[in-house]
C-alpha cells in the first residue's frame, strides 16, 4: 500500500497551484490517476517519485516512510527503485535501443529482458536509435526500459496518448499481461475513461489539485455522460447484465446496453448515461 | 618570418582550450541544474570577460599575481611559480579570459536537453558524473564543438591581457598578435601582413569547419 498525505505549492511566475493530496494506492496492482488536464496528475507522480519535494506531509510505502516532513525523513530517489515513463519517453538519443536497455543496470535479468523484448515486439528495433523510431515504437521501448529495471513501482505519465487506437489497445494488453506476470505496482496517469476501465484495479480521480474520489473503477460509470464503452457479456438475467470491461467485471442495467441483441460472450456497446 | 610567435600562439590556444573544457564542464552543469540564489552572481562572474576591457583583467592580474602581492609571493616561495611575465601566467589569464566562450555554448546545449534524460537516469540510480558522461555530453556534441572552437579562436586573438600579463618576451610570451603589433610599430608591414594572413586564414578555416559540421553539410556530402 502506498499512502500519500501531503501538500505542495507550485509557483510559476505570478500563478500558484496548490496540491492537497490524501489518497492511497494498491500494492502490486495497476492504479490509475484519472482527471482532466491541469488537475495535478503529473505533479502527483513527480512528488511520489521524489523528483519534486513535498512541502508538508508523508509518503509511506509498505510501512516505510519515503518522505516524512515532521521527522525530516526523505529517502533518496535513487533508492526508491522507481521506473518512470515520461510523456516524452526520455529515451537517450545517443544510444541504440539495446544500449538504452543495457544502461539501466549493470546486470540485467536476461530472462526478463528476453521476455520484455518478445512481449513488446521490439527485437527488430534493438540496433536502431530512438530518433529513427515512430511514436508507438518509442513508447514500447520506453516501457521495456522501465520494466527491465525490475522496479518496485512503475510510474507511467500518459504513456498511451500519442498513438492510434489499435496500437493503444495492444499496448494496454501488454501492460496488463506484464503486470500480472511480474506483479509490480503501477501508478498510471490518464485522462481517458476507456483506459481506466480497461486497465485499472484501483482508480484515483483528481481535479483542482485534490483527489475527489477513489476506489473501484466502476465509481466512474455514474459520472461520465456521452461516453460509450465496449465490453464482453459474462452473464445476464432479466434485469441486469454482467459485462467485462478491461479487467473489470461490472454489473449494469439492461437499459445501459446499446447493442440490441446479445448473448453471453458477445461484444456489446455500453452507454454510460 | 619568425615562426616562434605562431608556435607560442597555438600552444597557448591548445592548452587553454584543453584546460577550459574540463573547467567549464562542471560549471555549465551546475548552472543548468542549480536552483541556488548564487546562480546570477556566478553567471555574471563567468560572463564578465565578455564586456570587461582586457587591459582591466590584465591590470588586476599584474597586481594580484605580482611578486609584491601576497598571492604572487606565496606562489613564488612555495611552488616556485612565477605567473607574471611567464607562459604559465598567460595560460592562467587566458583560461579566465576565455571562460565564457566555453561555458556559454555548453550551458546552452545542456539547457536545451529535455529534463527527462537526467531524471530518468537519476531514478535508475546513476551518479551525476555518469549521467554527464554517458547521457548529457554525447547529446550536446555540436555545443561542445562550438565551445572548443570559439575558445581556441578567441585565445588566438588575445592581445590586451597577453600584453599586460606576459609582456613581450621573445620565445616566452611573444604571441602572434603581439608580433603583429611589434612589426607595425617597426613599420615592417610585410611581416605584419604574413602573421595577419596566417591568423585570418586559420580563424576562417576553423569557424567554417564548425558551421559545416554543426549544420550537417559534411554528413550530406558524405552520403
Q: What is the mean pLDDT of chain B?
A: 89
What pLDDT is attached to residue A79? 86
Cell numbers 619568425 correspond to: B2
What pLDDT is attached to residue A228? 60
- Please answer yes or no on whether A86 and B120 come within 8 Å at the CB atom: yes
What pLDDT is attached to residue B26? 93
CB pairs under 8 A between A and B: 46
Residue of B116, B124, B138 lying closest to A94 (CB–CB):
B138
Q: Is the overall model pTM greater than 0.90, yes or no?
A: no
For residues B131 and B103, give the distance between their C-alpha atoms in angstroms, rounded to a whole number.
18
What pLDDT is attached to residue A205? 85
DSSP state of B125: T
Give the β-pairing of A56-61 and A30-34. Answer: unpaired
Give the β-pairing of A82-85 and A56-61. Answer: unpaired
What pLDDT is attached to residue A194? 75
DSSP codes, A55-115: SEEEEEETTEEEEETTTTEE--GGGS-EEEE-TTTT--TTS-HHHHHHTS-SS--HHHHHH
Residue from B33, B116, B122 to probe the interface with A (highest A Cβ count within 10 Å)? B116
What pLDDT is attached to residue A227? 56
C-alpha cell belonging to residue A131? 530518433
> B65, B71 in Cβ contact below 8 A?
yes
Question: For residue B120, which residues of chain A lie inside 8 Å, CB to CB?
Answer: 84, 86, 90, 92
Q: Kindly report which listed range (A119-123, B22-26, B45-49) carries the lowest average pLDDT score.
A: A119-123
- Cα of B27 to nearest chain A Cα, Å: 22
What pLDDT is attached to residue A64? 87
Q: Is B39 a residue whose pLDDT tops 60?
A: yes
Cell numbers 452507454 correspond to: A271
Contacts of the segment B78-86: beta carbons below 8 A, 24+ positions apart:
B83/B165, B84/B165, B85/B165, B85/B166, B85/B167, B85/B169, B85/B172, B85/B173, B86/B166, B86/B172, B86/B173
Query: Treating both helix axes as pointing N-terminal to C-terminal, what angle do B4-33 and B39-51 enclose, rounded to 10 degrees?
Result: 160
Residue A108, CB half-sphere, CA atoms under 13 Å: how many? Answer: 22
pLDDT in tens, chain A (273 residues): 889 999 999 988 888 899 999 999 999 999 999 887 788 999 999 999 999 999 999 999 988 899 898 888 888 888 889 999 998 999 999 999 999 999 998 888 888 899 889 888 899 999 999 999 988 889 889 999 999 999 999 999 988 776 777 778 888 888 888 888 888 999 999 877 778 888 889 988 888 888 888 888 776 665 554 556 677 788 888 778 888 766 566 777 787 787 888 888 888 877 654
Backbone angles phi, psi at B10, to 5 degrees: -75, -30
Q: Predicted confidence band at B134 (pLDDT cuts at 50, 70, 90)?
A: very high
pLDDT, tens digit, for every residue of B191-223? 999 999 999 998 888 888 888 887 777 666 666
What pLDDT is attached to residue B79? 84
Angle at alpha carbon of residue B142, lines to B101 and A88, rounded to 5°: 120
For residues B212 and B199, give the distance between their C-alpha atoms in angstroms, rounded to a whole number.
20
Residue from B110, B117, B124 to probe the interface with A (highest A Cβ count within 10 Å)? B124
Amino acid at each position: 500500500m502506498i499512502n500519500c498525505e501531503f501538500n505542495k505549492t507550485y509557483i510559476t511566475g505570478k500563478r500558484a497551484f496548490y496540491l492537497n493530496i490524501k489518497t492511497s494506492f494498491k500494492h502490486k496492482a495497476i492504479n490509475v490517476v484519472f482527471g482532466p488536464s491541469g488537475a495535478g496528475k503529473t505533479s502527483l507522480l513527480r512528488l511520489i517519485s521524489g523528483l519534486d519535494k513535498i512541502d508538508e506531509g508523508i509518503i509511506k510505502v509498505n510501512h516505510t516512510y519515503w518522505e516524512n516532513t515532521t521527522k525530516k525523513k526523505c529517502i533518496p530517489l535513487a533508492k526508491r527503485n522507481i521506473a518512470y515513463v515520461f510523456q516524452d519517453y526520455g529515451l537517450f538519443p545517443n544510444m541504440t535501443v539495446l544500449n538504452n536497455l543495457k544502461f539501466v543496470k549493470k546486470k540485467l535479468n536476461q530472462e526478463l529482458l528476453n521476455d520484455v523484448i518478445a512481449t513488446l515486439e521490439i527485437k527488430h528495433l534493438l540496433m536502431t536509435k530512438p530518433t529513427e523510431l515512430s511514436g508507438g515504437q518509442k513508447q514500447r521501448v520506453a516501457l521495456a526500459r522501465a520494466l527491465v529495471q525490475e522496479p518496485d513501482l512503475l510510474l507511467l505519465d500518459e504513456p498511451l496518448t500519442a498513438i492510434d487506437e489499435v496500437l493503444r489497445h495492444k499496448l494496454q494488453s501488454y501492460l496488463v499481461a506484464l503486470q500480472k506476470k511480474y506483479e509490480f505496482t503501477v501508478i498510471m496517469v490518464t485522462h481517458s475513461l476507456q483506459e481506466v476501465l480497461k486497465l485499472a484495479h484501483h482508480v484515483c480521480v483528481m481535479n483542482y489539485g485534490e483527489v475527489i474520489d477513489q476506489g473501484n473503477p466502476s465509481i466512474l460509470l455514474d459520472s461520465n455522460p456521452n461516453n460509450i464503452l465496449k465490453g464482453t457479456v459474462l452473464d445476464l438475467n432479466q434485469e441486469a447484465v454482467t459485462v467485462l470491461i478491461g479487467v473489470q467485471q461490472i454489473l449494469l442495467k439492461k437499459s445501459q446496453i446499446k447493442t440490441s441483441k446479445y448473448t453471453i460472450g458477445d461484444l456489446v456497446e455500453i452507454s454510460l448515461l | 618570418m619568425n615562426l616562434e610567435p605562431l608556435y607560442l600562439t597555438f600552444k597557448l590556444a591548445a592548452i587553454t582550450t584543453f584546460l577550459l573544457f574540463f573547467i567549464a564542464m562542471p560549471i555549465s552543469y551546475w548552472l543548468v541544474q542549480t536552483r541556488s540564489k548564487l546562480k546570477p552572481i556566478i553567471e555574471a562572474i563567468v560572463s564578465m570577460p565578455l564586456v570587461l576591457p582586457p587591459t582591466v583583467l590584465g591590470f588586476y592580474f599584474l597586481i594580484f599575481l605580482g611578486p609584491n602581492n601576497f598571492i604572487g609571493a606565496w606562489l613564488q616561495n612555495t611552488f616556485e611559480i612565477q605567473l607574471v611575465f611567464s607562459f604559465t601566467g598567460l595560460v592562467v589569464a587566458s583560461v579566465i579570459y576565455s571562460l565564457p566562450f566555453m561555458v556559454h555554448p555548453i550551458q546552452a546545449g545542456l539547457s536545451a536537453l529535455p529534463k527527462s534524460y537526467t531524471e530518468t537516469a537519476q531514478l535508475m540510480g546513476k551518479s551525476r558524473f555518469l549521467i554527464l558522461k554517458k547521457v548529457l555530453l554525447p547529446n550536446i556534441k555540436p555545443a561542445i564543438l562550438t565551445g572548443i572552437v570559439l575558445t581556441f579562436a578567441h585565445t588566438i586573438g588575445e592581445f590586451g591581457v597577453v600584453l599586460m600579463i606576459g609582456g613581450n618576451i621573445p620565445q616566452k610570451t611573444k604571441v602572434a598578435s603581439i608580433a603583429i603589433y611589434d612589426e607595425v610599430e617597426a613599420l615592417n608591414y610585410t611581416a605584419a601582413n604574413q602573421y595577419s594572413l596566417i591568423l585570418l586564414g586559420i580563424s576562417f578555416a576553423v569557424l567554417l569547419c564548425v558551421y559545416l559540421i554543426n549544420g550537417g553539410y559534411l554528413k550530406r556530402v558524405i552520403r
